[in-house]
Amino acid sequence: MDFDFENIIGKSKAIRDVLEMVKKVARTQATVLITGDSGTGKELVALAIHGHSDRKDKLFLPVNCGALPETLLESLLFGHMKGSFTGAFANQEGLFEKARGGTIFLDEIGEIPQHLQVKLLRALEAKEILPIGSTTPRHIDVRVLAATNRDLQKEVEGGRFREDLYYRLNIMEIHIPPLSQRPEDIPLLVDHLIKKHNPELNKNFTGADDEVIRTLMSLPWKGNVRELDNVIEHTMILAEGDRILLDDLPVSIVAIGQANPAFTYNLKDALRQYEKQHIIRVLDQVGQDRREAAKLLDISLSSLYRKIEELGIP
């Protein structure tokens, strides 16, 4: 499998730390728990670990542990023997065996049912599995990577996730922070996403206007990079020309962007923006009664007038 780090885009300290960890753990056989909110790139990181390991020429098998009913998941992971349940017409090898020499990626590990947690722990510790309906354990040679967007520690405290399994999975943790905590990655990501979608959409965009970037940097991105990806793709489908302009962005995005002042690194500018927003909010609350607002803000009426003037408050 061909893979390089250029697939994981970002220059923030957070992303550089993630890449550093990826490089370090890739060379080992360690189980790695990858955590982060939805759309932050957990699967991408799992692929990068596999792609940099000595297992890279063998299979990388992702399994979504939250998507299947318990018996199906058990059979998928561990396999089953002919006749072990209705519909088991033949012996079936599980993914733990199919992935031999390679990597299995257990996505949404927080959703794995309790009974399978025990079997998984055994697979990790003894490197042995038991297909459904079999009494002969089988040796496995597979590296396990897991991901979750849940707080597994809380799941453990709530009795929904086995503590022993948690510690076994959590030998190494790679945490990917949400996109809103690393806006400096957005310009690079936008560039990367435009290049990614150009050929698929038969377009030729060379980039996005500064105003577009500033707006995108000020958004909350609850869906993280996946959401950004969708917005860029949507915009590229509808836009014409060779650069993406502010007018090309979906109206809803521009509206949220306007409600949030443009992102800036400069502390003075950021504080000014906050001051302005705060005063506008207080004025709104008191129906634009400046005397009342000054009282709530605990500043003199004349200071409030000066600030309204300075900050350009309508």
Ligand X SMILES: Nc1ncnc2c1ncn2[C@@H]1O[C@H](COP(=O)(O)OP(=O)(O)OP(=O)(O)O)[C@@H](O)[C@H]1O
- Residues at the interface with ligand X (CB under 6 A): 8-10, 36, 38-44, 149, 189, 192, 225-226, 229
Report the residue number, 43 or 211, with the smaller CB distance to Mg ion: 43
Nearest approach in angstroms of CB 3 to ligand X is: 12
How far apart are the C-alpha atoms of 205 and 253, rounded to whole Å?
20
| Whole-Å CA distances, 296 to 278, 301, 309, 313 | 11, 11, 19, 17
Q: Which does 295 bind (CB under 5 to 8 A by kind): Mg ion, ligand X, none?
A: none
Report the residue number, 106 or 225, with the smaller CB distance to ligand X: 225
Report the residue number, 39 or 187, with the smaller CB distance to ligand X: 39
Nearest approach in angstroms of CB 41 to ligand X is: 3
Q: Which residues contact 247 (CB under 8 A, 6 or more apart)?
A: none
CB 141 within 8 A of CB 96: no
Q: Which does 8 bind (CB under 5 to 8 A by kind): ligand X, Mg ion, none?
A: ligand X
CB 68 within 8 A of CB 29: no
Nearest approach in angstroms of CB 125 to Mg ion is: 26
Report the residue number, 3 or 211, with the smaller CB distance to Mg ion: 3
Nearest approach in angstroms of CB 8 to ligand X is: 5
DSSP state of 244: E
Q: Which does 9 bind (CB under 5 to 8 A by kind): Mg ion, ligand X, none?
A: ligand X
Q: Which does 102 bind (CB under 5 to 8 A by kind): Mg ion, ligand X, none?
A: none
Residue 32: HSE in the Cβ half-sphere, 13 Å Cα cutoff: 30
How far apart are the C-alpha atoms of 45 and 27, rounded to whole Å?
14
Nearest approach in angstroms of CB 189 to ligand X is: 6
Binding residue for Mg ion, selected from 17, 37, 43, 211, defined by CB under 5 A: 43
Report the residue number, 51 or 187, with the smaller CB distance to Mg ion: 51
3-class secondary-structure state, position 142? coil
What is the DSSP secondary-structure string of 272-296? HHHHHHHHHHHHHHTTT-HHHHHHH
Residue 213: HSE in the Cβ half-sphere, 13 Å Cα cutoff: 17
H or E segment and range at residue 229: helix 224-238
Report the residue number, 43 or 211, with the smaller CB distance to ligand X: 43
Q: Which does 187 bind (CB under 5 to 8 A by kind): ligand X, Mg ion, none?
A: none
169 CB neighbour count, 10 Å cutoff: 25
Nearest approach in angstroms of CB 230 to ligand X is: 9
Residues at the contact surface with Mg ion, assessed by CB under 5 A:
43
